[in-house]
């Protein structure tokens, strides 16, 4: 997969070039550095990419000119091969490139001044984590003014109740909120029961909520209740519970004891006692036995092999009770058990990124702003600029005349133009190019939807605004390449990157997976690379109920075959017994590691935190031996891909011979010394 990382360099690297490269039209820039097949590569072709991936980047490993020239040459050969195979003509490729181009165009279709303000606002908000509750009063986005006023007045009335002395905001959310998560959900045949959050949305930070809600929350002081905030969902009454310094990306581990949120009280008490016992054992050794306890007790099997470590998360990605604990810990500390709707957690804080300086955070914020609804502020400014630049001129008389012909059929999604409509009338023009009524009529038919609250004229004007703005922005978008050379170069890089990815998939990645005979032959040639260590084949019998332990031991003493033990336990209805068997290497299982590795050994290990007992029976020992292809398929496939790529690149070098101008290359080397 090494070549795929090279692709990512090309696809993801930032595109702004330094002035001394972008503006210097020197003789050296125009000289041919090398010829690949029948294509000449100039010094500028190479410098533009080398600078971006080696000098400008603080992340990608710096490479010498000669090292990078080899990577660059291989990359160009692969793109040429993709073009020879006409991969760039497929409908799939065209769709994918169009999608990327749309994303790449966004920075060029926004106002720098407005964007800078939005970036500064987003950064200031990112510095804080907020925990808030809300009561939602639903109101359709295009609701009639009378219905909007009705919803607003209802929100004001509920807010007054929330402000009253002794008012319980959670109880009011249960009673009045139109957010279904407040009240929870009863169990159905398809879904389990889900507890309500009583309006508590937990922790969040910038970009976690829709922009109007986010703004309302950040403009409300801790402990206070906002005025009704309008979003596309309706009106929100927001109560800010806490405002704390942001943790950023959080790394934490846990020992998880699963328990349904609606478990009986006696089960809760028993599980809490178990969690407390585990915590006490951890504290007896100052947490040095964390790994052992995770393997022994955690029900989160996906994290057991990582010492309980969860994937990095932010405050909005996990339940607030868990976040509360993380905020109370120093790095390396272990907290007392906390209960959530999922069970009990013993949490260890491993790290937190915090928030960097504005300059460090700026690029990431810019990417989020582009995708967020707040970017519309910037787009509105650009729209005005584009209209001015391309001489947008609207014919108000023709527009009003057309709108007057629109009847209520448009609200039922049944619109058709009347005979009175002049289809050739001009609605507006760009650069003196007219857009006629007929084009708008076509847009209406393709985009109208059922409307319950709008009037025909108001809805027609809304559609016209969307239509005319779209035409204007599409016109500007179509001229981006000629207006911004750096944009044209960036789109070209993405084009080449997509081609490379598709070709690599065809010639290497998918080929390695599908070539079963070749994969088997490769595995046989390299069997010594894929070895098992010493292994023990063992049965692990967990007995959770003390009254069942004598019965299980008696069965084992009587010589019951281990392979049939599970069947005998089920036949005799012995409760609380779980049997598993597998091959284990050292470190795979804590109980097996505690047992002497000798065939026939039986080890009984009582739990120190509950009443369970684990019995380990060593059944077979295996010396180091090669893994079968099935057992090592992932590693074997990856290595086979490397071999396939090496052979393929060799054939490409024969198809596209490379001739390097050594004198020019020396001059390029001197540029970077």
> How far is residue 320's CA from residue 318's CA, in Å, rounded to a whole number?
6
User: Rounded mean pLDDT of 265-275?
Assistant: 95
Whether residue 308 sits in one domain with residue 260: yes
- 115 part of a folded domain: no
Whether residue 213 sits in one domain with residue 161: yes
Whether residue 329 sits in one domain with residue 291: yes
- Res. 252: pLDDT tops 60: yes
Banded pLDDT at 17 (limits 50, 70, 90): very low
> How far is residue 576's CA from residue 258's CA, in Å, rounded to a whole number?
17
> How far is residue 660's CA from residue 667's CA, in Å, rounded to a whole number?
13
**Cα 393 to chain center, whole Å?**
43
- 71 part of a folded domain: no
pLDDT given for residue 314 in this prediction: 95
Sorted by sequence, the CB contacts under 8 Å of residue 420 that are 6+ apart come out as 405
pLDDT given for residue 378 in this prediction: 80
How wide is the angle at C-alpha 43 spanned by C-alphas 40 and 48, nearest 5°?
110
E strand or H helix that includes residue 659: strand 658-660
pLDDT given for residue 617 in this prediction: 96
Cite the DSSP H helix spans in 479-594. 480-483, 485-504, 510-514, 516-525, 549-557, 565-571, 590-593
- Res. 510: pLDDT tops 50: yes
Residue 314 half-sphere exposure, CB side, CA atoms within 13 Å?
Answer: 17
Instruction: Please state whether beta strands 32-36 and 658-660 pair in parallel, antiparallel, or not at all (unpaired).
Output: antiparallel
Contacts 24+ apart (CB under 8 A), 91-98: 93/498, 93/499, 93/502, 96/498, 97/491, 97/494, 97/495, 97/498
Whether residue 397 sits in one domain with residue 461: yes
Query: What six digits make up the tokens of 586?
Result: 């050292």
pLDDT given for residue 15 in this prediction: 32
Q: What are phi and psi of 279, to 5 degrees?
A: -60, -45
Q: Across all residues in the chain, what is the average pLDDT?
A: 90
Whether residue 593 sits in one domain with residue 547: yes
- 454 part of a folded domain: yes
pLDDT given for residue 187 in this prediction: 66
> How far is residue 246's CA from residue 265's CA, in Å, rounded to a whole number?
36
pLDDT tens sequence across 211-226: 999 999 999 999 999 9
- 319 part of a folded domain: yes
- 491 part of a folded domain: no
Contact 477, 386 (CB under 8 A): no
Whether residue 238 sits in one domain with residue 137: yes
- 3-state SS, 464-510, equals HHHHHHHHHHHHHHHCHHHHCHHHHHHHHHHHHHHHHHHHHHHHHHH
Contact 254, 346 (CB under 8 A): yes
Whether residue 445 sits in one domain with residue 336: no
The CA distances from residue 211 to 207, 230, 231, in Å, are: 7, 10, 8
Query: What six digits make up the tokens of 213?
Result: 């809600």
Give 563: exposed, middle or buried? Use CB within 10 Å, 0-12, 13-18, 19+: exposed
pLDDT given for residue 9 in this prediction: 37
Whether residue 184 sits in one domain with residue 157: yes
pLDDT tens sequence across 308-365: 999 999 999 999 999 999 999 999 999 999 999 999 999 999 999 999 999 999 999 9
- Res. 56: pLDDT tops 70: no
Which position has the higher pLDDT, 670 or 1?
Answer: 670
CATH number of the domain enclosing 275 = 3.10.50.40
pLDDT given for residue 142 in this prediction: 67
- Res. 561: pLDDT tops 80: yes
The CA distances from residue 1 to 6, 120, 312, in Å, are: 9, 38, 24
- 148 part of a folded domain: yes
Contact 126, 355 (CB under 8 A): yes
pLDDT tens sequence across 439-497: 999 999 999 999 887 789 889 999 999 999 999 999 999 999 988 888 998 999 899 99
pLDDT tens sequence across 276-305: 999 999 999 999 999 999 999 999 999 999
Banded pLDDT at 22 (limits 50, 70, 90): very low
Domain end: 200, 216, 245, which one? 245
> How far is residue 334's CA from residue 332's CA, in Å, rounded to a whole number?
7
User: Rounded mean pLDDT of 607-629?
Assistant: 94
> How far is residue 122's CA from residue 355's CA, in Å, rounded to a whole number?
12
pLDDT given for residue 537 in this prediction: 97
Neighbours of 385 (CB within 10 A): 12
Instruction: Please state whether beta strands 39-42 and 229-231 pair in parallel, antiparallel, or not at all (unpaired).
Output: unpaired
Tell me the helix, strand and coil percentages in the chain, rounded to 5.
55, 20, 30
- Res. 201: pLDDT tops 50: yes
pLDDT given for residue 3 in this prediction: 39
Which position has the higher pLDDT, 57 or 569?
Answer: 569
Domain end: 321, 352, 383, which one? 352
Q: Enter the DSSP assignment of 52.
A: I
Whether residue 215 sits in one domain with residue 238: yes
- 218 part of a folded domain: yes
pLDDT given for residue 634 in this prediction: 93
Which one, of 477, 649, 641, lies nearest residue 110 by Cα?
477
Contact 618, 597 (CB under 8 A): yes
Contact 138, 151 (CB under 8 A): yes
Phi-psi sector, 356: left (phi>0), alpha (psi -120 to 50), beta? beta
Q: What are phi and psi of 451, to 5 degrees?
A: -130, 130
Which one, of 413, 406, 403, 404, lies nearest residue 452 by Cα?
413
Domain end: 245, 263, 286, which one? 245
Contact 346, 355 (CB under 8 A): no
pLDDT given for residue 380 in this prediction: 85
Whether residue 348 sits in one domain with residue 289: yes
pLDDT given for residue 55 in this prediction: 59
Q: Where are the beta strands (DSSP E) in 159-199?
A: none
Sorted by sequence, the CB contacts under 8 Å of residue 360 that are 6+ apart come out as none
> How far is residue 93's CA from residue 498's CA, in Å, rounded to a whole number?
8
pTM score: 0.57
pLDDT given for residue 673 in this prediction: 75
Give 329: exposed, middle or buried? Use CB within 10 Å, 0-12, 13-18, 19+: middle
Whether residue 609 sits in one domain with residue 536: yes
Sorted by sequence, the CB contacts under 8 Å of residue 32 that are 6+ apart come out as 40, 41, 42, 43, 661, 664
The CA distances from residue 514 to 502, 508, 525, in Å, are: 16, 10, 19
Contact 571, 602 (CB under 8 A): no
SS3 101: helix
- 195 part of a folded domain: yes
Query: What six digits make up the tokens of 282?
Result: 């951890």
Q: Which domain holds residue 277?
A: 250-352
Whether residue 346 sits in one domain with residue 321: yes
Give how many domains the chain has, as a whole number. Answer: 4
pLDDT given for residue 670 in this prediction: 86
């Amino acid at each position: 997969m090494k070549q795929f990382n090279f692709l990512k360099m090309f696809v993801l690297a930032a595109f702004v070039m330094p002035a001394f490269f972008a503006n210097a039209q020197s003789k050296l820039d125009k000289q041919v550095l090398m010829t690949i097949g029948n294509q000449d590569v100039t010094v500028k072709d190479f410098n533009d990419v080398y600078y971006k991936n080696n000098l400008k980047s603080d992340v990608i490993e710096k490479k010498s000119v000669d090292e990078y020239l080899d990577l660059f040459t291989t990359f160009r050969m692969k793109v040429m091969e993709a073009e020879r195979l006409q991969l760039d003509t497929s409908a799939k490729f065209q769709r994918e490139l169009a999608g990327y181009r749309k994303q790449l165009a966004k920075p060029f279709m926004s106002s720098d001044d407005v964007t800078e303000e939005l970036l500064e606002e987003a950064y200031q908000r990112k510095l804080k984590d907020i925990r808030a509750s809300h009561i939602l009063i639903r109101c359709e986005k295009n609701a009639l003014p009378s219905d909007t006023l009705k919803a607003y007045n209802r929100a004001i009335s509920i807010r007054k109740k929330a402000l009253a002395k002794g008012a319980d905001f959670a109880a009011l959310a249960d009673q009045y909120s139109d957010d279904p998560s407040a009240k929870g959900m009863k169990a159905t045949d398809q879904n389990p029961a889900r507890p309500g959050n009583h309006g508590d949305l937990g922790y969040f930070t910038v970009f976690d909520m829709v922009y109007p809600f986010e703004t309302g929350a950040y403009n409300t002081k801790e402990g206070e209740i906002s005025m009704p905030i309008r979003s596309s969902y309706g009106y929100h009454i927001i109560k800010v519970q806490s405002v704390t310094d942001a943790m950023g990306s959080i790394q934490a581990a846990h020992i998880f004891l699963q328990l349904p949120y609606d478990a009986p009280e006696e089960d809760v008490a028993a599980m809490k006692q178990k969690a407390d016992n585990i915590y006490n054992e951890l504290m007896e050794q100052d947490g040095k036995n964390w790994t052992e306890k995770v393997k022994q007790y955690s029900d989160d099997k996906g994290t057991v092999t990582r010492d309980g470590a969860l994937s990095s998360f932010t405050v909005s990605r996990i339940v607030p009770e868990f976040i509360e604990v993380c905020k109370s810990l120093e790095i390396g500390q272990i907290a007392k058990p906390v209960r959530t709707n999922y069970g009990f957690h013993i949490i260890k804080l491993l790290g937190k990124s915090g928030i960097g300086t504005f300059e460090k955070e700026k690029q990431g914020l810019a990417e989020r702003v582009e995708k967020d609804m707040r970017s519309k502020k910037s787009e509105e400014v650009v729209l005005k600029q584009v209209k001015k630049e391309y001489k947008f001129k609207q014919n108000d008389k023709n527009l009003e005349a057309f709108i007057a012909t629109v009847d209520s059929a448009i609200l039922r999604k049944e619109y058709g133009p009347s005979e009175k409509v002049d289809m050739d009338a001009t609605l507006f023009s760009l650069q003196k190019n007219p857009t006629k009524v007929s084009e708008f009529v076509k847009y209406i038919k393709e985009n109208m939807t059922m409307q319950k609250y709008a009037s025909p004229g108001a809805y027609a004007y809304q559609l016209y605004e969307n239509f005319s703005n779209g035409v204007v922005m599409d016109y500007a978008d179509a001229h981006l390449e000629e207006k911004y050379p750096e944009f044209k170069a960036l789109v070209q890089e993405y084009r080449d990157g997509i081609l490379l990815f598709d070709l690599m998939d065809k010639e290497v990645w998918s080929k390695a997976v599908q070539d079963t005979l070749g994969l088997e032959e490769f595995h046989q040639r390299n069997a010594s690379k894929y070895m098992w260590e010493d292994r023990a084949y063992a049965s692990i019998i967990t007995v959770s109920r003390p009254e069942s332990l004598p019965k299980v031991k008696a069965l084992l003493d009587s010589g019951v075959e281990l392979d049939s033990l599970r069947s005998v336990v089920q036949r005799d209805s012995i409760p609380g017994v779980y049997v598993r068997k597998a091959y284990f290497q050292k470190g795979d299982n804590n109980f097996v590691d505690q047992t002497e590795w000798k065939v026939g050994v039986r080890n009984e290990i009582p739990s120190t935190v509950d009443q369970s007992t684990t019995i380990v029976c060593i059944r077979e020992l295996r010396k180091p031996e090669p893994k079968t292809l099935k057992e090592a398929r992932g590693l074997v496939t990856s290595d086979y891909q490397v071999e396939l790529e090496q052979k393929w690149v060799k054939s490409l070098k024969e198809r596209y011979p490379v001739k390097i101008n050594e004198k020019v290359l020396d001059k390029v080397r001197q540029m970077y010394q």
